[in-house]
Amino acid sequence: MVLKALQIGLYVQVALGLARFGLPYVGVAVPDAVWTVHPLLGVTIAVTALVVFRPGARRPARPLLLARYAPLAPLALGIALLLGGIRGLPAVVAHMLLGFIAVELVGKGIEAVETADTPASEPAAPEEARPT
């Protein structure tokens, strides 16, 4: 359940980020309250990833490690953008690229957790020899 919520949260985060980047170019004004959700969701995603992707027995280490820490990169850059420490289109594009990479790495982590937590299925029965 938490993994599915994390995945949905990531997709909502990407949609909000793309809307935040693209809508002003089209002349669409969106209330400030909507933009408050983007950073809050980013923090929630990062904290959830840190908790959910803890290493454990029967779980592959590398996908979990990458999935656990990947959301921190766009979050750090996003906070720097929000606070005015970094400005400019290249920083925004870098933030977006890090976000897309984080979505992919978290997806791989979710896949690793689901695979590790699924009981091993019984081996398939060998096919009977066919007469030639």
Q: Tokens 């594009």 belong to which residue?
A: 93
Write 71-77 long-range contacts (CB < 8 A, 24+): 71/42, 71/45, 71/46, 71/102, 71/106, 72/46, 73/98, 73/101, 73/102, 74/42, 74/98, 74/99, 74/102, 75/42, 75/43, 75/45, 75/46
* pLDDT, tens digit, 9 for 90 and up, residues 80-103: 999 999 999 999 999 999 999 999
| Per-domain residue ranges of the chain | 2-117
pLDDT band at 66 (very low <50, low <70, confident <90, very high): very high
Residue scoring higher pLDDT (99 or 56) = 99
CA dist 26 and 8 (Å) reads: 26
Q: Give the helix, strand, coil percentages of the chain, each rounded to 5.
A: 75, 0, 25
At residue 107, what is the residue type? G
Tokens of 7: 């995945």
- What is the value of pTM for the model shown? 0.79
Report the run of H or E that residue 43 belongs to, with start and end: helix 32-52
Residues of the chain above pLDDT 70, percent: 85
